[in-house]
Structure 1
Amino acid sequence: MIGGLLVILLCLYFINKNINTKFEKLEDTIVNLNKRIRYLQQKTTSQEQKTNSIKKDPVIKKPDSIIEKPIVNKPIDDISKKTTVTETIPDKSSSVLKLKPTKKEVIESISKVVSEKTKTEPKKPWFETFKEKNPDLEKFIGENLINKIGILILVLGISFFVKYAIDKDWINEPARVGIGILCGSLVMAIAHKLKKNYVAFSSVLVAGAISIFYFTIYIAFHEYQLFSQTIAFSIMAIITAFSTLVSVTYDRQELAVLSLIGGFATPFMVSTGEGNYVVLFTYIAILNIGVLGVSYFKKWRIATILAFIFTILLYTGWLGSKINDPSFSHKGALLFATLYYFIFSITIVLNNLKNKGVFSTIEYFIFVANTFIFFGIGMVILKDINSNFTGIFTLLLAIYNLVYAIILFKKFGLDKNAIYLLIGLALTFVTLTIPIQFEGNQITLFWALESVLLFWLSQKSKISSFKFGAIIVQVLTIISLLIDWERYYSSESFTVIFNPLFIAGFIVSVSLFIIYRLLKKEKDVITRFFTFSIKFYKNVLVLATVIITYFTGLLEINYQAHQFISNQASAISFPVMYHFVFVSLILYIASLFKKKNISKGALIVSTISIILYIVNFYKLPKTEIINNLVENTTSNYAFYFHYIILACLFYFGNQLLTTTTSLFTINTKQNKWLPWLFTFAIVYVLSNEIMVHGLYLSNSLSSDEITNQFSDSENNWYEKFNYAKKQINNTATQIIKIGYPILWGVFSFIFLIIGIRKQWKNLRIIALSLLGLTILKLFIYDIKNVSETGKIIAFILLGILILVISFVYQKIKKLVVDENSEDEKI
């Protein structure tokens, strides 16, 4: 009884306080309206005065009669002086009507200006908006803040009173619950009574009444055990439904938020730790549908946001705590996760369709977060049961988003950005399906095909998002291919050509080439943030195609050669030969189709290849001979392949000589160092040919001799190798001392003849320098430890060559002396 009187007294006090506040507010409003009326009256009066001043024009007398006179040829100035000008005076009444606006027009014009200004004004920070809505802080506190604090204090006061009565044993348990319900009903009745005149205050009272109901039922269940769990849960559900209905009736968003919080708190308030998840999540689903329905009709976005957050927190918390239990139901958990995903994905779109606007940032966030959270939950549940349906689950999610996008675009005309988002989600999940469901090179194959499909779709649909998605998938494809190469070529055993890795590399190369062809007629794509250059991307595609094709063949040939050939030098000669042939083909194709950028790149690679041959690859045939002797094999692949490599080297040299000037603006004749480099490479390569053929034709050592020499030793491979290498090097030394001087002398003669015919002084100097080097080598190095026969042959032939060169110089001395043409300056 005392509690009821206290409630009534407090309510009367707040009512009186609010009535006084309302009267003060009404007085201020009347004063402002009077000021506005006086302002409009003054403005109208000033406009009328301005109109009257315009009307007071001088009256021009009209002449009584006009005397006709014959036209006399007079000057124009005289005529203009006597010409009478008449002026039409507008009607007084009509001008007044046009110039004098009514009060209604003035007010409408002012309101129009104000409304236009409001539309163009930028969005202000929330604090500035708060100050504009509540310029008087005292009024805000008195009218808005105090009543909320008051209802909180009232609830606490009632709680303290009830606790005091309980401590004194004045009230038994059912009576205590009854008093709580009675107090809540009394506050609700007062709120309903004040609804018409005090909407804000009455809504605060309603919130207090609902809070009293919730806590009363909570205490009745947990402390007093007056209800069973089912009855307590049902009562709280009814309270939630009732509070939601009241929020709609009062049209108060904060009541809807309170109902939502109370609804989600209900399961915890009646929980005993042994709840049924089916009942719990069914209740949450019904609660979400109800609250989201209210949010849809009332445009209360905050309710949607809170419902999403509370649902995710509740579900993920339950999933994390229960998934390891033996009794955990994976099917039920996935079913409810799917239900919640559909509820929120459909609700967000329905709100947008109703409002016929674009998605807000928070709506985009909820949409994307809802999708990926559901995807994560589904993957966790399916992997927990070791299911093979993770890929199918991902694919179904992609199909749902794609079908959803098509329906919403064709039937309802949803915001295009939202459609692109759905398509992007679909593409993302299709891309994720491949590595989730498949393994190894299957991922690479599917991604390669998907990139082609996306580029084709971008052309057909004119949607640039497909193009950018395809580029991302292409990058993933190449990364996946590199991982496959690194992982499997070092550990697996594959058949020739028809193996997964070679096929994957081939398909990726073909996909890149197809995309290059698809982009042949494409134009640059201009987006909000950047311009996507199709020309640049086509060059990237060409480069990627060439590189991937090259490494696909190189790795396959290298792998299979080492699988079937024991001689390491012979096995290495296969990929080396492939490298030179591949570079030659690229250089030929680039020259044929006049692709300057590709030709430049190929020439640079050709130059590097020549250097690699001079530094390393030249010795493969020699190493092959040594390995044959040690391992007692007859492999000659390196020897025969070196002819193909030699042809490629000469092709590289010819291309460098003929196209360097046009591609790199370098004149080979006028350049100081290029002729020296070219002649050095030629002499070095052909000197190596003398060495290779000399070793292959030599019978200085056989594998039987080596076997007999090391028959008694164990683990003697390195000993055999060093012995064979020493014997081969002895033979090579003889070839260097006998064959090189003759070859270099011949080259000196050839370079001299060419230099004379082409009038190329630099080449003649190179010829003489090579000849001088040959003579020095002959007397300093070659004369030592060489056979008599070789010494005789070398000296005789070299002497003859030197005499011939001298004779040639004597023959053409007039051409050589005083040669100062521009193209022969050094």
Structure 2
Amino acid sequence: MLTLLLIIVVVFLWLHVKKIEDRMMHLEQYLQKATEQFGKVERTTNAVSPAVALRDEETKVQVPVPTNSTELPENPAPSAVGNLIEWLKTDWLMKLGGLLIVLGMAWFVNYAFANNWIGPMGRISLGFIVGAMILVLGRYRMNTYISQGGILMFIGALSIILTTWAGRELYGFFTPASALVLMFLIASVLGITSVHFKRPPLAYANVLLGAIAPLLTASPYPSLSGLFTYLLVLSLGSIWVASVTGWRQVIFLSLATVSMYSAPFLMDSYLTNDDGLMFAFVFSALFFFVSILGMRHIQKTSLYDVLTAVLTGLFLLAWILVDAEMEWQSLLLVTWTLVFAFGAFTAVRLGAAMSYFYAYASVGVLLLGSATAVELDGPTLTIAFILESLAVLILGFHVTKKPSLLPILAIPSIVPILLSFESMDASLWSKWSTGIYHDDSLVLALMILSGVLVVRYVLYMRSKEQDEVVRDKLLFFSNLAGTVASLYGIVYVWLCSKALFGEEYGVIIALILYIIIGSTLYLNGKKTGEKWKRVVGGALIGITSVYLLFLTGTILGVFGRVVAYTVIGVVLIGVAWHERSSSKSA
């Protein structure tokens, strides 16, 4: 009864769709005739005599064109969810009917198998025949209705692939290699058809079916070389489709497929071997050079282009850190750093979109930082990261000449800032208890020096800039760098004073230096108009005064408090005197 009802519903839907198709054909014929008549009228109108045209030209009224006309905003690009909803709305009857047919066939086959109507060979043959018929029907339907034909082709290809899996898994009719080849060939039919009809969903379906094919072969002994060779062929096919059609999403999907299959080998050390690292280099070089070759032809980059570049670097980094010998890791990482730096340089020279430069430069910095972390540790690693982040900031700004990118270029500086906190440990057993001539002291000194160099460089570039908006951005960044350098200076003075002069006298000297430095910054900031100096100087004076009033009693003795209060009070009075005298003279 359920089968009869299903047949009635399918027949009704087919007749209804056929009726709509006839109406659409009639409407197309009517519009074609109307268009031909309109073309005749237009040709008749254009075939006027020159004299009449001249008189018409003379009698035209010159209407001024308004200069303040507004342009209509462009429609934003639909999101991924919007694309999915639009895809579901298009030919939804065909999609629903295809789903019902697949479910009906599944129930029929299940019922036939349960009652042993069909033997194993007949079952697999029936699956191949039905899948091939649907595939051929979809290809024929695409000549008239591309969307409906594409749906039928996907259903047919999926049916053949699942039948192949059943023949391999349940009955052992195929070897893993033959099953994989058959699945790949069926998926390739979708890719070739997508190129012929310019249909991107079929190309995505091609990659999807090709990606799940190795999972359906049920190989008892998975081979990394065999699997990665297959993935290499799949990637080459995806690159061919992208080169013909320009669908770069296909390249990203193939790279994501390779990364997905690499995960088990990276997480299980028993599965890794030398072939895996070799294939990782081959895949990285392949996707890298494809991206480089496509830079010149791509005017507008998409998110997939950036993700492809970043994922290539992460894929390569994971394989080097997991599978390469320890003594070779840093050399390999530096080599690939130069390769990706070349990619960033090429992006700028070829006039490609700056997204390529950002992506490849970021990957290069990541690889360089990883190589540094492999070779060094402790304060030495922090020092190396300080120098590298400083070079990235200055060289990156020198190449791009874009002040808006300074916050992005400063992101690598977060790593040495976080690592430098370990060098601020002033406990009894730290290096600061022995003096100031050690690597932790050098870390803080380099942080201060780096901040000062950034401030001077940015202010120098600001002096050569004419645009006021750009000048304001550069001034803000220089103020930020100066503030960070000042904070490190405060910490460095505190640690050095206590390391050189002991606990009590070190605190006295540090507080006096804080007041002197804060007063100098405050007065200089008021004189030059640099806001960060006024803010840092005023904050330093205020914090030092609060510390002196409320906390020094637990550290300093009577003599220490007398000296500290007196000296600092004299300095503050002198600052106030000088400030008032300067304001009167001005």
Alignment TM-score, normalising by the size of structure 2: 0.73
Quote the offset at 1:578 in angstroms: 5.6
Q: Answer with 399-408 or 236-245: which moved more.
A: 236-245
Please list the CA deviations of residues 425-451 of structure 1 after superposition, one character each: whole Å capped at 9, or x if unmatched: 434554565556432322332233235
Residue in 1 aligned with 2:120? 173
Structure 1 counterpart of 2:272, from 329, 340, 344: 329
Shift of the alpha carbon at 1:219? 2.4
Give the whole-Å Cα distance in 2 for the aligned partners of 1:559 and 1:256. 68
Aligned residue in 2 for 1:32: 31
In the TM superposition, what is the alpha-carbon distance from 1:346 to its structure 2 partner? Answer: 4.7
Matches of 1:12 and 1:657, distance apart in 2: 96
- 2:505 is matched with 573
Whether 1:227 and 2:146 are equivalent positions in the alignment is no
Structure 1 residues 311-330: aligned runs within 5 Å:
311-316=258-263, 318-319=264-265, 323-324=267-268, 327-329=270-272
TM-score, structure 1 as length reference: 0.54
AA aligned to 1:401 is F
Number of aligned pairs? Answer: 554
- Which ranges in structure 1 are unaligned for 5 or more consecutive residues? 1-10, 52-91, 101-116, 563-570, 624-641, 667-826
Does residue 512 of structure 2 align to residue 555 of structure 1?
no
Inter-partner Cα distance in structure 2 for 1:594 and 1:152: 75
Partner residue in 1 for 2:581: 662
8 Å CA contact 1:519, 1:538 repeated in 2: yes
CA deviation digits over 1:14-33, x for unaligned, max 9? Answer: 99987765543221123334
Residue 441 (structure 2) aligned to one of 480, 492, 502: 502
- Indicate how the Cα distance of structure 1 residues 576 and 494 shifts in structure 2: closer, same or farther if over 3 A, else same: closer
Counterpart check, 1:289 vs 2:236 = yes
Q: Quick one: structure 1 residues 21 and 407, their matched pair in 2 at CA, closer, same or farther if it must change by over 3 Å? A: same
Aligned residue number for residue 95 of structure 1: 52
Query: 2:164 — aligned with what?
Result: 217
For residue 161 of structure 2, what is the amino acid of its counterpart?
Y
User: Superposition pairs for residues 208-357 of structure 1, below 5 Å?
Assistant: 208-301=155-248, 303-316=250-263, 318-319=264-265, 323-324=267-268, 327-329=270-272, 331-347=274-290, 350=293, 353-354=296-297, 356-357=298-299
Secondary structure of 1:504's match? helix
- The Cα of 1:617 is off from its aligned counterpart by 4.9
8 Å CA contact 2:347, 2:354 repeated in 1: no
CA distance in 1, matches of 2:521, 2:107: 94
For 1:407, the equivalent position in structure 2 comes to 346
Counterpart for residue 793 of structure 1? none
2:230 maps to a residue whose letter is Y
1:122 equivalent among 75, 79, 92: 75
Partner AA of 1:659 in structure 2: H
Contact 2:426-2:433 within 8 A present in 1 as well: no
Pairwise CA distance, 1:499:
1.4
Q: Is the 8 A contact 1:434 1:443 kept in 2?
A: yes
1:417 to 355, 366, 369: 355
Residue in structure 2 matched with residue 672 of structure 1 by the alignment: none
Is residue 558 of structure 2 the alignment partner of residue 619 of structure 1?
yes
- How far apart in 2 are the matches of 1:168 and 1:593? 92
CA separation in 1, counterparts of 2:427 and 2:112? Answer: 80
Give the 3-state SS of the residue equivalent to 2:31 in structure 1.
helix
Matched with 2:65 is none
Counterparts of 2:207 and 2:401, CA distance in 1: 41
**1:361 and 1:168 mapped to 2: Cα distance?**
52
**Cα deviation digits, residues 640-685 of structure 1 (max 9, x gap):** xx7xx7995696277247414236889xxxxxxxxxxxxxxxxxxx
Structure with larger RCO (C-alpha < 8 A, sep 6+): 2
Partner of 1:523, secondary structure, is helix
Mapped contact 1:452–1:511 kept (Cα < 8 A): yes
Deviation at 1:183, TM superposition (A): 4.1
Contact 1:603 1:656 (C-alpha < 8 Å) held by counterparts: no
Paired AA for residue 182 in structure 2: I
Query: What is the rounded CA distance, in whole Å, between the counterparts of 2:278 and 2:109 in structure 1?
Result: 45
Aligned residue among 417, 435, 452 for 1:513: 452
Distance 2:546 2:496 in 1: 23
CA distance in 2, matches of 1:595, 1:609: 27
2:265 and 2:272 in contact (8 A); partners too: no
Q: In structure 2, how many angstroms separate the alpha carbons of the residues matched to 1:436 and 1:494?
A: 30
Superposition deviation, residue 264 in structure 1: 1.9
Q: Which residue of 1 aligns with 2:300?
A: 358
Letter in 2 for 1:357: Q
Compute the displacement of 1:398 (Å): 4.0
Distance 1:456 1:581 in 2: 31
- Structure 1 window deviating more from structure 2 (419-428 vs 460-469): it is 460-469
CA RMSD, Structure 1 to Structure 2 (Å): 5.3
Residues 29-38 or 604-613, more deviating: 604-613
**Quick one: distance in 2 between partners of 1:393 and 1:542?**
37
Contact 1:550 / 1:582 at 8 angstroms: preserved in 2?
yes
1:584 and 1:648 in contact (8 A); partners too: no
What amino acid is the match of 2:51? S
Q: Residue 336 and residue 12 in structure 1: after superposition, are their counterparts in 2 closer, same or farther (change >3 A)?
A: farther
Instruction: Give SS of 2:462's match.
Output: coil
* Cα deviation, residue 473, structure 1: 4.6
Alpha-carbon deviation of 1:360? 1.7
| One-letter amino acid of the structure 1 residue matched with residue 25 of structure 2 | L
Amino acid in structure 2 at the alignment position of 1:278: S
TM-aligned CA distance change 1:45 to 1:432, over 3 Å: same
Question: What CA distance in whole angstroms lies between the structure 2 residues aligned with 1:588 and 1:189?
Answer: 85
Matches within 5 A, 1:181-196: 181-188=128-135
Report the CA distance shift for 1:393/1:485 in structure 2 as closer, same or farther (over 3 A). Answer: farther
Cα drift, residue 295 of structure 1: 2.8
Q: Which amino acid aligns with 2:439?
A: P
2:508 touches 2:560 (CA, 8 Å); kept in 1?
no
The 1-side partners of 2:516 and 2:19 are apart by 98
1:443 match: secondary structure: helix
Q: Deviations over 1:325-370 (max 9, x none)?
A: 6x3215444444554444445545555543x321123433444355
Do the aligned partners of residues 36 and 126 (structure 1) sit closer, same or farther apart at CA in structure 2, a change above 3 Å counting?
A: farther
Rounded Cα–Cα distance in structure 2 between residues aligned with 1:29 and 1:578: 89
The structure whose Rg is larger is 1
The answer to whether the 8 Å contact 2:310/2:360 transfers is no
d(CA) in 2 for partners of 1:238, 1:37: 45
Q: CA deviation at 1:486?
A: 1.6
Instruction: Assess, with a 3 A threshold, how the Cα gap between structure 1 residues 415 and 446 changes in structure 2: closer, same or farther.
Output: same
Once residues 402 and 575 of structure 2 are traced to their aligned partners in structure 1, the CA distance between those partners, rounded to angstroms, is: 42
Aligned pairs for 1:144-155 (under 5 A) are 144-152=91-99
Letter in 1 for 2:206: S
Amino acid at match of 1:30: Q
The alignment-based identity, stated in percent, is 14
Partners of 2:518 and 2:541 within 8 A in 1? no
Q: Structure 1 residues 485, 396: CA separation in 2 closer, same or farther (over 3 Å shift)? A: farther
Q: Is the Cα–Cα contact under 8 Å of residues 452 and 470 in structure 1 kept in the other structure? A: no
Residue type matched to 1:368 in 2? V
Matched residues in 2 for 1:42 and 1:373: separation?
A: 63
Please list every run of 5 or more consecutive structure 2 residues that lacks an aligned counterpart in the other structure.
Answer: 1-9, 58-69
